[in-house]
Amino acid sequence: METEGLEPLYHAKDLSVTGFIEVLKHLSFFKQVMADVLTQCNIRKPDAAILLDYPGFNIRLGMKLKALGIPVYYYISPQVWAWKKGRVKTMRKFIRRIFVIFPFEEDFYKEQGIPVTFAGHPVVERDFNLPERSHFFKSHGLDESKPLIALLPGSRRNEMEKHVKPLLDTIKLLISQDGELQFTLAGLSSLSQSYYEPFSQIEHVKIINDDPYPMMAHADVAIVASGTATLETAYLGTPLVVIYKMAPVSYLIGKLLIDIEHIAMPNLILGDRAVPELIQNQASGQIIAAEVMQLISDASVRETMLTKLGKLKELLGQPGCAKIIAASIEKDLE
């Protein structure tokens, strides 16, 4: 967005906090961000506001923008269909139109009386710019004849803190079962490199910073933290195991509030447990390793998963969602 002219007040990485307890620790910072955004809106007098996801902050912001007379559009729906359904009443008060990325969300918002457009998911128009498999393996010192497991532990600090140990345990168990296995880890230069140091000491692991898509596409199996990366991996046609760990208190609160059968995006869209979801205590090295080995060694399990994942592309819409959204907002503002 910066290359297209966005002037950021804050970097997204500074706002990337998940979990109830974790958010409370950063509450004063979020209040400052809110104040600064509103100050800039009063100074610049924008013609419209487009809120992107991030409901804990944006729903509050949306009400304040509405009070300032700024038309508010929302892109990427808060998961109110999963939990905190009461927020829909607030959203109805300030949203001029919501643009959703999952097909089932369109019916939900229509029933709630909020103008809605399913424009398709951004993943369908992304240019992944993938290298050839042989080139990818050669450039990273990998052996194309041996199975490759991609590790995508998450993009947030608290995700890394929770996922390092179970992933290290998983690697050790898998190597003990099959010494031919090799691993790539999706690193981020924006996170502390101390998270990746334990992995760098393992001979079988290659850390690749800021370029996750080739490893998603060319791995035999991926272990992916719950989030958008699970959908991207599935879309690229790679079998995966979804993991997620958070603070115990946050998990218990979430379990009481969340009302959905699945948490992994591929499973939510398909309405089926297409990929394993290993949450909290289930996200242990032993259980993760068992799921991965099954996908590597059992062709029928692997093919069943790939068949289910193949249906995703049909459900995610066609390329051009950004144009649809931009044209809709421009027309509405005329």
Q: Tens place of pLDDT for every residue, the chain, 334 residues?
A: 899 999 999 887 777 666 555 666 667 888 999 999 999 999 999 999 999 988 888 999 999 999 999 999 999 988 777 666 778 999 999 999 999 998 889 999 999 999 999 999 989 988 898 999 999 999 999 999 999 999 999 988 889 999 999 999 999 999 999 999 999 999 999 899 999 999 999 999 999 999 999 999 999 999 999 999 999 999 999 999 999 998 777 767 666 556 667 889 999 899 899 999 999 999 999 999 999 999 999 999 999 999 999 999 889 988 888 899 999 999 999 8
153 and 251 assigned to the same domain: yes
209 and 162 assigned to the same domain: yes
- Give the Cα separation of 248 and 257 in Å (integer): 14
184 and 79 assigned to the same domain: no
**Are the C-beta atoms of 273 and 263 separated by less than 8 Å?**
no
109 and 156 assigned to the same domain: no
Query: What residues contact 334, with CB distance under 8 A and at least 6 apart?
Result: none
Query: Looking at residue 266, which CATH number applies to its domain?
Result: 3.40.50.2000
Q: How many domains does the chain have?
A: 2
- Give the Cα separation of 42 and 315 in Å (integer): 41
- CA of 85: how far to CAs of 17, 89, 112, 131, in Å? 21, 8, 10, 43
**For the whole model, what pTM was predicted?**
0.78
> What angle in degrees, to the nearest 10, is found between the helix axes of 87-94 and 55-67?
40
119 and 173 assigned to the same domain: no
DSSP code string of 53-104: S-HHHHHHHHHHHHHTT--EEEES--STTTS-TTHHHHHHHHEEEEEESSHH
213 and 246 assigned to the same domain: yes
What are the structure tokens assigned to 275, written together? 């990929």
282 and 148 assigned to the same domain: yes
328 and 305 assigned to the same domain: no
Which residues constitute the domain of residue 27?
2-125+317-333
228 and 169 assigned to the same domain: yes
171 and 243 assigned to the same domain: yes
